[in-house]
Amino acid sequence: MRYTITFQEESYNELIKYLFSDTKVERAAYALCKLSVTANETRLLVREIIPVAEEDIIEATKTNIKIANRSFLRAMKRADITKHVFLFIHSHPKEYLSHSLQDDREEKMLFKTAYIRIKTPGIHGSLVLSAPDKPVCRIWLENGNTAPVSLIRVIGNKFVFYTDLSKVDPLPVFFDRQIRAFGDEIQKLLRVLNVGVIGVGGTGSAIAEQLIRLGVGTLTIVDGEKFEQSNVNRVYGSSINDDKKEKIRIVQEHAATIGIGTTIIPENKPITFLSATEKLKDCDVIFGCTDDNWGRSILTKLAVYYPIPVFDLGVKIDSEEGKIKNIQGRVTTLLGRYACLFCRERISAKRIQAESLAALDPEQLKALQKEGYADELETPAPAVIPFTTTIAALAISEFIHRLTGYMGEDRESNEVLMMFDRTLIKRNKTLSKLECFCGDTLNILRGDVEPLLDITWRNEI
């Protein structure tokens, strides 16, 4: 079991501004968090920052802070009432990178109290910062022991991952050209990330190909379909001999052949199954390469509830009698505060209903379609490898920008549109609509709920 923390960029910046507004004294705050729990990871999702009020600070020096009991008891009470877990945060002088012996003594009693007063099942933790880019965190377990937090994410216009990269194995020589481009640290970071890829057809296989060759350490692949020989002209890693082979197996074999060392975690089911979506909770970033509204609606919720950033990809070729009229491609980045796929009208409830009924109750779908109460489902759309590959490369470029900022600090767009037939690229930045579920602050960083994502799931197979 590993422990991690996720901040939204705005919350983290708010915290940093407060803690380091006066570097002559230690400052402290509390964070209320929701949880994401899997067999592999417990993730604290920071929802609210509560600075310690000035009137509750008994004494503050460069190396010490004394806080009135009423301050943390108030924060713990709020955590208990609102069903959050508790995180104590304070600054340190730059020469004290981690928790001190005094922290060890005082926090033992603090977190003993936290477990008594906060009835929410879960864990609590302590975070110290000697500089804005040097957070160090540990979990206090109920038995009084501690465990390290191995990764702290800050998700926003940039994706920042604080982790100990010294533990990463020496980088092979074949990454030299990439290291020359974006540095040793980013290359090491790629080795520790778990990136999800939903659907490994024309677009998804191009995404997987590039992520593997970039050196991403782990890919979680979700796809329940078998390969059809007719798709060999657009699916990377495939051959005509792979007919009827599971798509995830093609990716596994292809990754092994490339030999860079990427671990593939396969899920041979569509994302519309609970067990498949559960695996995505371990991901740091997700690429959505599914054509269906149903799957996209789940990714949209995942990006809001957890929040795991999702790059949603789409390519549409408008062709009539074998002649292309226009070609449009899209990469939409799904993050908290930004418009989701419902806001943008990329997906619709009626379409989701039709797709779910097609899988679960085809006869009812036919009846509803006959009466005009359900959408007709389209036949497979045209797909051509240069266009799907270009959009995949565009999405990977967006991902690298979020890690490095190479497109400029002022770039805040969250959707890129490419009109191939006009050699035109557009960008936009659209915020969530208040009336949409993604604009409701109660849903942002909501974490684990029962049922997952507030969805009624189909029966497992």
pLDDT digits (tens, 9 = 90+) for 69-98: 999 999 999 999 999 999 999 999 999 999
Spell out the SS3 assignment of 373-442: CCCCCCCCCCCCHHHHHHHHHHHHHHHHHHHHCCCCCCCCCCEEEEEHHHCEEEEECCECCCCCHHHCCC
Q: End-to-end CA distance of the chain, in Å?
A: 27
Q: What is the pLDDT of residues 402-418, one digit of tens each?
A: 999 999 988 888 999 99
pLDDT at 374: 63
Residue identified by tokens 């310690």 is 52
pLDDT-derived band of residue 379, with 50, 70 and 90 as boundaries?
Answer: low
Helix residue spans in 193-328 (DSSP H): 202-214, 247-258, 274-280, 293-305
pLDDT at 378: 67
For the segment 103-109, the average pLDDT, to the nearest whole number, is 96
Cis peptide before 132 (omega within 30 of 0): no
With beta carbons less than 8 A apart as the criterion, state whether 444 and 436 touch.
no
* 27: its two tokens: 């400052």
With beta carbons less than 8 A apart as the criterion, state whether 286 and 308 touch.
yes
Residue 61 has pLDDT above 80, yes or no: yes
Q: Count CB neighbours of 409 within 10 A.
A: 8
Do 2-155 and 172-454 agree at the fold level? no
Residue 356 C-beta-side C-alpha neighbours within 13 Å: 20
With beta carbons less than 8 A apart as the criterion, state whether 432 and 438 touch.
yes
**Mean predicted lDDT score pLDDT of the chain:** 94
pLDDT at 14: 96
Residue 447 has pLDDT above 90, yes or no: yes
Q: Which residue has the higher pLDDT, 388 or 336?
A: 388
Residue identified by tokens 């809001």 is 304
The residues near 372 (Cβ < 8 Å, ≥ 6 apart) are none
* 316: its two tokens: 């549409």
Topology of domain 2-155 in CATH is Cytidine Deaminase; domain 2 (3.40.140)
For the segment 358-371, the average pLDDT, to the nearest whole number, is 79
* 63: its two tokens: 């190396």
pLDDT at 221: 98
pLDDT-derived band of residue 376, with 50, 70 and 90 as boundaries?
Answer: low
Residue 321 has pLDDT above 80, yes or no: no
How much of the chain exceeds pLDDT 70, in percent?
97
Q: What residues are paired with 414 via a beta bridge?
A: none
Q: How far is CA 246 from the centre of its chain?
A: 26
pLDDT-derived band of residue 371, with 50, 70 and 90 as boundaries?
Answer: low
User: What CATH code would you report for 172-454?
Assistant: 3.40.50.720
pLDDT at 12: 98
Q: Which amino acid is at 50?
A: I
Residue 367 has pLDDT above 80, yes or no: no
With beta carbons less than 8 A apart as the criterion, state whether 301 and 266 touch.
no
Angle at which helix 385-404 crosses helix 202-214, to 10 degrees, equals 40
> What is the C-alpha separation between 114 and 86, in angstroms, rounded?
7
pLDDT at 377: 66
For the segment 339-353, the average pLDDT, to the nearest whole number, is 93
Domain ranges of the chain: 2-155, 172-454
Cis peptide before 172 (omega within 30 of 0): no
pLDDT at 383: 82
Q: What is the pLDDT of residues 415-433, one digit of tens each?
A: 999 999 999 999 999 999 9
Query: Phi/psi zone of residue 453: left (φ > 0), alpha (ψ -120 to 50 degrees), beta?
Result: left
Q: Which helix (H) or strand (E) holds 82?
A: helix 69-82
* Spatial CA neighbour of 142 closest among 116, 104, 163, 178: 116
pLDDT-derived band of residue 323, with 50, 70 and 90 as boundaries?
Answer: confident
pLDDT at 424: 94
Q: What residues are paired with 445 via a beta bridge?
A: none
**Would the pTM of this model clear 0.85, i.e. be above it?**
yes
